[in-house]
Structure 1
């Protein structure tokens, strides 16, 4: 199978990538800097991480990366990012196109794919307005209710899962001086999450609580000097959060942070319904922390009171965290079992096999 996997990253990750790849003078050097940092690695298929020649990987939204490739291949003028990605697919003679960024490259892009491409899949685990993915052979994700949304829009929806990143084996076996950590977004899409963060932030009086928040542009504007003169109060973070908030962390720094923390607080975005099992669940459990997350329908291996702990309200989140810290030996056993289950159930070998099986059914 000649596979091309296209990915993307948060705009807030770009400064870190530029720093990591500051000396990169080629497409391969910049791509290697990105892959070595493991941002999003739970989604990257085994042949990509193994560096096999039949598996080509790129970030189609990374203009620096893509223009390096275009220049190396002698593409004339200033081609668009879409044109570069199409050229990469043709140059690689891709048979299976797996896209993690379908909002940027929707059905209109699929219609332009060269004839070598026989199968197309895209990952999308969130509603996306009027985005059209019907030209893809399948939309994949691990949230059944969201797959149902895509099916109602005329797409074929198939269950597929992130996987345990083997690099996680290098993290989380020493001291855990941080009591509670949260890493994630803070925007208008996170109302329930914001209420929980506000209550948990109050534990900072007696515990080491770390909140690494990727605030939305509107939140940053609301908290600026100019924004405080505008009617944007509801978009500002409460003082209890703002006082202890840190910038977001990514990649191996995230693994290191989780590996230094006893508890990882997680909260689904409001649009996820009752389905649970976002990337943070895999990262938290994979690095051996105790996952404390909101109640809902979890994936196999994520079981309340056995491999994770859950809460039903912001108030209960504080209670669960406090209880877990008070009886840390028991909590550590839950976390260790969670790590083992995630490693066993969601291995890269199994992910790759399931991907092959899925491609075979299309």
Structure 2
């Protein structure tokens, strides 16, 4: 049975809040800490590894920047170093995976990749940004799976194999049904407002001149928000999915650094949770959703406002589109479907 180890990172703010909400966790064993972090369904959680396991792989995850659980592991294995880099290398040496799949390859020191090369057969990276942002780190990898279609040709220009594989959705986050009365937010936005999201502030300001927007995310702290922007704080994992499930309409806006392609996690999370998605356009959008029938697509911020005003008095049509978007995601955009390509490619290369 081939085995794969996924390397991931979690936002520090999420982990700090998780340990604060679960005060016993810091003194727990490394496996219990790791399982608790995964159960919160932050980011990719165990979505990739679980899907690979169902395809006949032995699959595990490591959260490489989870200091408490990683250092507890070092203590349990009598490993004489508190360096997260050294701990990661030792874990990989012990586990001896056939494949390392780095979800955020630029966050790991190049020396780690050099150190683990003798232990593994394939080094695989996930690329969610244009290739120009990887600063040469990509040359250490055997292949990449990328969420940006144009990256495939660019990787191959530097003689690295690459495959387009969008992000996805795990249906476990909608295990129980919500009644209509539990959908409480007319219009929501979940996302950050940092340096990579400057245009989002302009976007939200414009929409909030006409609608109340319930917002969650990071980077809002020092901003002077307009009265119609109701900020509820940072939100992660299961709590975030619940907000999306309780939203009639949710807005999506890709970060400023991405190319003209679309496909961020929020597209699949929102539609998978049953919210009506209003999203910005992209050259590959028609490969993902049917515009106007499964999602609402805007060309610019003024157009988004026009569409919101248009659909404000069409509750039945909004519901029809939202349900169609959810059906599309559950049929075509699950991690189970995404990992079929990953398993096929990797098995051919091992």
Q: Structure 2 length normalisation: TM-score? A: 0.89
SS in 2 for 1:310: strand
Instruction: Provide closer, same or farther for how the CA distance between residues 240 and 131 of structure 1 changes in structure 2, counting only shifts above 3 A.
Output: farther
Instruction: Provide closer, same or farther for how the CA distance between residues 89 and 317 of structure 1 changes in structure 2, counting only shifts above 3 A.
Output: same
Deviation of 1:361 after TM superposition, in Å, equals 4.2
Distance 2:247 2:298 in 1: 19
Is the Cα contact below 8 Å between 2:38 and 2:45 reproduced in 1?
Answer: no
Is the Cα contact below 8 Å between 2:51 and 2:339 reproduced in 1?
Answer: no
**Which blocks of at least 5 consecutive residues in structure 2 are unaligned?**
none
Question: 1:133 maps to which residue?
Answer: 138
Instruction: Provide closer, same or farther for how the CA distance between residues 20 and 34 of structure 1 changes in structure 2, counting only shifts above 3 A.
Output: farther
- 1:174-225 deviations in whole A, cap 9, x for unaligned? 2322011111111222233222111122234xx4x2011310xxx75xx3xx
Question: 1:67 maps to which residue?
Answer: 71
Distance 2:73 2:23 in 1: 17
Larger mean Cα displacement after TM superposition, 145-154 or 134-143 = 145-154
Question: 1:56 maps to which residue?
Answer: 60
Is 1:164 the counterpart of 2:205? The answer is no
Question: 1:230 maps to which residue?
Answer: none
Is the Cα contact below 8 Å between 1:172 and 1:288 reproduced in 2?
Answer: no
Larger mean Cα displacement after TM superposition, 97-106 or 292-301 = 292-301
Question: 1:13 maps to which residue?
Answer: 14
**RMSD over equivalenced CA pairs, Å:** 2.5
- 1:43-91 deviations in whole A, cap 9, x for unaligned? 7324378699932211001111110111111101x33111111111111
**Aligned counterparts, 1:234-245, within 5 A:** 237=223, 239-240=225-226, 244-245=230-231
SS in 1 for 2:322: helix
Question: 2:202 maps to which residue?
Answer: 195
**Which blocks of at least 5 consecutive residues in structure 1 are unaligned?**
224-236
Deviation of 1:290 after TM superposition, in Å, equals 0.6
Aligned length: 340
1:40 to 36, 40, 43: 43
Is 1:178 the counterpart of 2:179? The answer is no
Instruction: Provide closer, same or farther for how the CA distance between residues 174 and 50 of structure 1 changes in structure 2, counting only shifts above 3 A.
Output: farther
SS in 2 for 1:270: coil
Question: 2:3 maps to which residue?
Answer: 2
